[in-house]
Structure 1
Amino acid sequence: MATLIDHLIKLTDHRDRDLLELTLSKALIDLVPIQRVIVARVVSEEGIKRWLEVATLDAKGGGKVVDPLRVDFQKLPLLEDNRDRLRAVQNRERIEIAWAGEDGPRITYFPLFSETVNEDEGALEIHSASPLTDEQLQTLTQVQHVFRNMYHLLAYSDRDALTGLLNRKSLDDTFYSAVLDELGEGPESSQTDVLKTALAPGQERRHRVPPNYWLGTISIDQFGIINDKNGHLIAEEVLLLVARIMNNTFRTYDRLYRLGGEQFAVLMHCPDEALVLAAFERFRANIEKFNFPQVGRITICAGFTRITPDDSPSTALEHAERAVDYAQHNGRNKVFSHAELVRKGFFGDAVKIGAVDIF
């Protein structure tokens, strides 16, 4: 059986936040006499919050790992459906439920994070046959503390310093996972295989990500004029507010990026082009109706493209950016699909290097 030190090494070995919850679960199963571990994250869509159980592991074998990008949000349980778990998250405290006598089985809930950073919230749910001892609780707390430190360290390296959105490096990493899946070269879809391979020594394999991946870019209209007229600090405030509106408009499990300057991006999974267009239109409308302090009303242009097996991050960004350029030269405050513009003959699909900084 692996020791505490062995599991701490595994946790600090990772360069991928998507595998940390699974590694945490495996460590607790090995180190503490418990029956089941569930890592549940809080996800939201249009102001509604639900539970997403991203990792479940049983002591007797078996379990599952869920990719947040491929879930059906409407089928997830509401936060109020598990009030004890919710109370642990809201109050930042341990909640212990004895459901068959004081010395019998119980469920213990812990807040996954000690504080909310970048909207991250979740709970660690422990099922045990009897109460956990002080020594066992101490081991659990130590492992969870290392998990939190690694999660925030990796999150910091993946984030834009100004807005807190993901950065270009993070986009490249997730993009290549999507392309591998489109090519059929990603990790096996079997949950058992994921559980086995994800923890193999020296291995950094990502969860399988679904096809129907879309990349969209967003540019603030006439941002240079906003900057020149109002100054750098006000312009930065506009960027911060645009990032906040993005977080409030798109789904929790959509990946939101700042590429630099006034350019943003969204990477999402969606089965239909019309639904992607609706999501970007909703964001465009939310920006248009927002009153930015000292600036007033502003608008954005957005363009999006479906990721294909032949794409690299730079070619997909170029396709999306060409749709943005078309919007900016045709009235601004618009959203266009690159594929739709190609179908209508407005331009071909040849790639040219545009305004996006791809390095």
Structure 2
Amino acid sequence: MSTFIEHIVKLTSHRDRDLLELTLSKALIDLLPLERIVIARVVREEGVSRWLDVARLDAKGGGRVIDPQRVDFQTLMKLEDASDRLRCLETRERVEVAWAGPEGPRITLLPLFSDSRQEDAGVLELHSDAALDADSLALVDALRQIYRNMYSLLEYSDRDPLTGLLNRKSLDDAFYSAVLEDLDGILPPMDSVGEQERRHRVPANYWLGSVSIDNYGLISDKHGYAAMQDVLQQVARVMSSTFRTYDRLYHFGGDSYGVLLHCPDEALVLAAFERLRANVEKTRFPLVGRVTVSSGFTTVRADDSPASALENTARAVDFARRGGGNKACSHLGLVRRGFFGPVPVLTEEAAAA
């Protein structure tokens, strides 16, 4: 069994927020008399909130880690269908459920975060054969605080300070995670997380998009720096309310934004960027009036880098702007139509798309 100090070292050595939940789970199940630990986060889509079990680990071995971008949202449990979790979330206090008598097995739930920010809502769910004693609960609180501190530190380094969206650096990490072989849902030994050698594979339905504000330079020259800062923040808020909570939204600087998402159908991706276009167009910008955006997106291929994929999205954005702006364009769709490079050989299904 690893010591408490060893687990603190592991928990504070990460540079990837996505690995923190796994490391916390391993520490808790290694140091405490637990049968199972589940970390559940709240994800939202079109105003509906559901539970996503992002990590699950059993004392007897085995576990699962879930990529939020690759889940079927409609199959997830609604918030109200897990009343104990919801009570823990709402009260921000520990909830204990003795489901087989007062001295028997129980589930202890604790809020994962100390504040009530919607984007960070989640709970720790600890399954044990008996009630956890005061020392065990104190250890949980200590590890939970270390987790929060690391999460906040990494989030700060990953975020654009103006808009609150992710920054360009964090795109590289997420991008390479998307195009590397996934873990097939099985949790590897925690000592090897981050060091294990992974093979490239063809990614399943990942898409990268770029979004730019039309006539940004002209608007800035006319209305000034402060007004444009307000526009940049407001566009970021529209993006956050348009896309799903588990889509990754970026601000690269200036008028340039990005979106990394997982979706099974190109038409659905186009529809998402069309919703963004329409939502920005109908938004009132008090300091500058009407604002529109142009978007371009591309499928992520196994041999892509962030730079090469962004180059494809930039070409699609440029095509939209040369057509008058206020448009969303698929790079793949433009290639099919012969605008960029040789026209690929199409199957009947691809041609119909």
Tell me if both proteins adopt one fold, taking TM over 0.5 as the criterion.
Answer: yes
Q: Describe the shift of the 1:273–1:42 C-alpha distance in structure 2 as closer, same or farther (beyond 3 A).
A: same
- Shift in Å, 1:103: 2.1
What is the one-letter code of the residue matched to 2:31?
L
Q: Distance in 1 between matches of 2:165 and 2:57?
A: 30
Partner of 2:120: 120
Conserved? CA contact 1:43–1:52, under 8 Å: yes
> Which residue, out of 200, 203, 208, partners 2:195?
203
Normalising by structure 2, report the TM-score: 0.92
Does residue 218 of the first structure (1) align with residue 211 of the second (2)? yes
Does residue 253 of the first structure (1) align with residue 241 of the second (2)? no
> Which residue, out of 305, 308, 332, partners 2:301?
308
Give runs of aligned pairs for residues 85-124 of structure 1, distance below 5 A.
85-117=85-117, 119-124=119-124
Identity across matched positions, percent:
60
Give runs of aligned pairs for residues 1-359 of structure 1, distance below 5 A.
1-117=1-117, 119-180=119-180, 186-189=181-184, 191=186, 194-196=187-189, 198-200=190-192, 203=195, 210-348=203-341
Partner of 1:356: none
Q: Describe the shift of the 1:29–1:349 C-alpha distance in structure 2 as closer, same or farther (beyond 3 A).
A: farther
Normalising by structure 1, report the TM-score: 0.90
Q: Distance in 1 between matches of 2:194 and 2:6?
A: 13
Q: After the TM superposition, list the runs of 4 or more consecutive aligned residues in structure 1 that deviate by more than 3 angstroms.
A: 204-210
Q: Distance in 2 between matches of 1:189 and 1:275?
A: 25
Q: Report the 3-state secondary structure (helix = DSSP H, G, I; strand = E; otherwise coil) of the residue aligned with 1:33.
A: coil
Q: Distance in 1 between matches of 2:21 and 2:247?
A: 19
Write the deviation string for residues 266-325 of structure 1: whole angstroms up to 9, x where unpaired: 011111111110111111111111112222221100000111123221111011011101
What is the one-letter code of the residue matched to 2:25?
S
Q: Which runs of 5+ in 2 are unaligned?
A: 344-353
Q: Distance in 2 between matches of 1:208 and 1:105?
A: 43
Write the deviation string for residues 105-138 of structure 1: whole angstroms up to 9, x where unpaired: 2211111111145821111111111111111100
Partner of 2:348: none
Q: Report the 3-state secondary structure (helix = DSSP H, G, I; strand = E; otherwise coil) of the residue aligned with 1:171.
A: helix
Conserved? CA contact 2:119–2:245, under 8 Å: no
Q: Describe the shift of the 1:179–1:62 C-alpha distance in structure 2 as closer, same or farther (beyond 3 A).
A: closer
Write the deviation string for residues 69-101 of structure 1: whole angstroms up to 9, x where unpaired: 110001001111112211212221111122223
Q: Distance in 2 between matches of 1:229 and 1:54?
A: 47
Conserved? CA contact 2:66–2:185, under 8 Å: no
Conserved? CA contact 1:65–1:195, under 8 Å: no
What is the one-letter code of the residue matched to 2:104?
G
- Shift in Å, 1:207: 12
Q: Report the 3-state secondary structure (helix = DSSP H, G, I; strand = E; otherwise coil) of the residue aligned with 1:199.
A: helix
Q: Describe the shift of the 1:176–1:249 C-alpha distance in structure 2 as closer, same or farther (beyond 3 A).
A: same
Q: Distance in 2 between matches of 1:236 and 1:206?
A: 41
What is the one-letter code of the residue matched to 1:80?
E
Q: Report the 3-state secondary structure (helix = DSSP H, G, I; strand = E; otherwise coil) of the residue aligned with 2:93.
A: coil
What is the one-letter code of the residue matched to 2:90?
Q
Q: Describe the shift of the 1:76–1:206 C-alpha distance in structure 2 as closer, same or farther (beyond 3 A).
A: farther
What is the one-letter code of the residue matched to 1:189?
D
Q: Distance in 2 between matches of 1:130 and 1:239?
A: 52
Q: Describe the shift of the 1:113–1:159 C-alpha distance in structure 2 as closer, same or farther (beyond 3 A).
A: same
Q: Which runs of 5+ in 1 are unaligned?
A: 181-185, 351-359
Conserved? CA contact 2:293–2:327, under 8 Å: yes
Partner of 1:354: none
Conserved? CA contact 1:64–1:195, under 8 Å: no
Q: Describe the shift of the 1:262–1:116 C-alpha distance in structure 2 as closer, same or farther (beyond 3 A).
A: farther
Q: Distance in 1 between matches of 2:79 and 2:19?
A: 24
- Shift in Å, 1:48: 0.9
What is the one-letter code of the residue matched to 2:178?
A
